[in-house]
Amino acid sequence: MAGTTTQTIKEILKGVFGYDQFREGQEAIIGNVLAGRHTFVVMPTGGGKSLCYQVPALIQEGVAVVVSPLIALMKNQVDRLHAVGLNAAFINSTLPKKAVDEVRKGVLSGATKLLYMSPESLTKKENLTFLQQVHISFIAVDEVHCISDWGHDFRPEYRNIKTALDQAFGALPILGLTATATPKVQQDILKNLAIEDATLFRYSFNRDNLYYSVKPKVQAEKELIKFIKSHPNASGIVYCQSRKKVEELATLLNLNGIQSAPYHAGLESKVRVHHQDAFLSKKVEVMVATIAFGMGIDKPDVRFVIHYDVPRSLEGYYQETGRAGRDGLASICLMFYSAEDIIRIEKFNKSKPAAEREKSQSLLRAMETYAVSGVCRRKQLLHYFGETYSQNCNYCDNCQHPPQTYSGEDCVKMVIIAVQQTQERFGTDHIVHLLRGIEDHYIKSYRHHMLSIFGKGSARDKAFWQSVINQMLLLALLSKDVGDASALKVTKAGGIFLEKGYPILLYEDNTYASSDHDEQPTTINRGQE
Ligand code: ADP
Ligand code: ZN
């Protein structure tokens, strides 16, 4: 933009929003948008993504269109912008025809700088025809991970955004924003929006103040009550998979003197809003909810997030636990784990169409691996999001109550040989079968039963070998393709190990046979709870 200096951007920051400084990344992102380039932002919740499109929208000529799935929050967002004197409007299915006409007038006159739209509204023909008469500065797609069915929030209508934009406007700069994107989801988004050349801005997902732990789902109701009672006056969220369980637990907690309210999509919207307000204003301490609750909710002092049931993906889990401790103070993320939960989700996944089924199953596998693994939780979570975190965090259950270890050199060596003997073209399941000496269809058709490594690991079971391979990925002895086949490859470090050999300690998986360790984390300099 001609005439836009760092000075004017800073002036807007202070003059309009009242902030003295940019948060990490904001200034660079705004600069990239102003330069008319495609931009992709992955920033944790609360990082300050909104400003990244609000500031350029104000500076540039025309109107910026913000696509967002959060229909219920649009009015609220726009009201807040009005409060700072910013001309914004929204169009979604809840808006009466007359109000839509008003919004259009404002946009046509050039007064409106930001127009929020749901994907359904954006892709509607009459809206596209209208937008063609307007000068649009850029398109921001918020919660852009909804484009990918490799994520946890897939919205099919997000897939139509790109086609609609292409048909109506040709090339416009696109800014995609999300608080959750594994390497796979990121690849999916860039491809789908055809912005592979976008400038990438990724910030660490590490949330220092969150304590992660997994407990066996044994007498879970009792454990739940005990846990909540040991955190008096603290706000928390309990997530369940079903509406029925939400209702049951909310009732149970109230009966036990814990102020709580249910929240799920089956409740009337008036009731939902009422319960949400009660939670935000601390009239109730605990919100018992399905995953319908939480997106876009800004409550800084949520002290715990409990997953009563095992969630379907790690991405969803991380997003949900991310609602704890936004004020930076110590907060706890606790999950109850049971193999029955995994089986239940598997059954559910199997009822899906084939393509979806495989994705859902592989997301669930990652969840299961996380839950049973003895490795530092933070290390696993960050690795899942493509970050390297090599030390142990000392602020999760596995770090504070380390499970048994064993010398893993021989096993590690066997896996590397198995991967090499099959030309690094196969995924975990195949390698496990090869090691265990299982002559399945694939093994036979590739004649892998003829390899010298075939059956060399038959003394151990499937779960054992899966655990070894998972830990080798975390130790960067192996790597996995982002592509769909997920073939395992031996890294340089893996090659060096094979050549030189050195001691490697591996963790036994958690068996969850007993639950004797207490859930109170040892707090180390992470502020008061
Ligand atoms: P996100 O969309 O990434 O979750 P938001 O855009 O909602 O985050 O911002 C989170 C909070 O941080 C909001 O309350 C916002 O007003 C505040 N915020 C954003 N940028 C700044 C800044 N530069 N200085 C101070 N506060 C900021
Ligand atoms: Zn840890």
What are the boundaries of each domain within the chain?
Answer: 6-202, 210-402, 405-507
Cα 429 to Cα 150, 351, 446, 463: the distances in Å are 20, 22, 14, 11
Give the whole-angstrom CA distance, residue 51 versus residue 67: 15
Given a contact cutoff of 8 angstroms between Cβ atoms, the answer to whether 52 and 41 are in contact is: yes
- Sorted by sequence, the CB contacts under 8 Å of residue 327 that are 6+ apart come out as 300, 301
Q: What are the tokens at 223?
A: 């454990």
d(CA 155, CA 119): 9
Report helix, strand or coil for 396.
strand
What kind of fold does domain 405-507 have according to CATH? Arc Repressor Mutant, subunit A (1.10.10)
Distance in Å, CA 401 to ligand 2 centroid:
10
- The third-level CATH classification (topology) of the domain covering 6-202 is Rossmann fold (3.40.50)
Verdict on whether the full-model pTM lies above 0.95: no
Residue linked to tokens 């300050």: 48
Ligand 2 centroid–CA 184 distance in Å is: 24
Question: Which residues, in sequence order, are bridge partners of residue 39?
Answer: 175, 199
Cβ atoms of residues 366 and 338 within 8 Å: no
Is 51 near ligand 1, meaning CB less than 6 Å away?
Answer: yes
Distance (Å, whole) CA 391 – CA 296:
32
Helices (H), 84-204: 97-108, 119-122, 125-131, 161-169, 183-192
The secondary element (H helix, E strand) that includes residue 75 is: helix 71-83
Residues 143-175 as b or e (16 or more Cβ within 10 Å = b): bbbbbbbbbbbbbebbbebbebbeebeeebbbb
Q: What's the average pLDDT block by block, 10 residues per block, for the chain (529 residues)?
A: 68 92 94 97 88 95 93 86 93 92 95 96 92 95 91 86 85 92 90 95 92 95 97 96 97 97 96 95 96 86 98 93 92 96 94 88 92 95 90 95 94 98 94 96 96 97 94 92 77 95 93 57 48
Return d(Cα 283, Cα 260) in angstroms, integer: 9
pLDDT of residue 45: 79
Compute the distance between CA of residue 213 and CA of residue 308 in angstroms, rounded to an integer. 12
At residue 525, the pLDDT reads 45
Determine the pLDDT at residue 486: 81
What is the structure's pLDDT at 520?
64
* Nearest atom, ligand 1, residue 43 CA: 3
Q: What is the pLDDT at residue 528?
A: 38
Closest ligand to C-alpha of residue 294 is 1
pLDDT at residue number 190 = 95
Which among 9, 10, 12, 19 is the best mutation to test ligand 1's pocket, defined by most ligand atoms within 8 Å of the CB?
Answer: 19
Please state whether beta strands 405-407 and 331-337 pair in parallel, antiparallel, or not at all (unpaired).
unpaired
Q: φ, ψ for residue 311 (rounded to 5)? A: -75, 170
Cα gap 295→16, rounded to integer Å: 26
| Domain 210-402 in the same topology as domain 6-202 | yes
Q: Whose CA is nearest to atom 17 of ligand 1?
A: 48
Side chain identity at residue 232, one-letter code: P
Which residue lies with its CA nearest to atom 16 of ligand 1? 48
Question: What homologous superfamily does CATH list for 210-402?
Answer: P-loop containing nucleotide triphosphate hydrolases (3.40.50.300)
Ligand nearest to the CA of 208: 2
Neighbours of ion ligand 2 (CB under 5 A): 376, 378, 393, 396, 399
**Residue closest by Cα to atom 18 of ligand 1:** 48
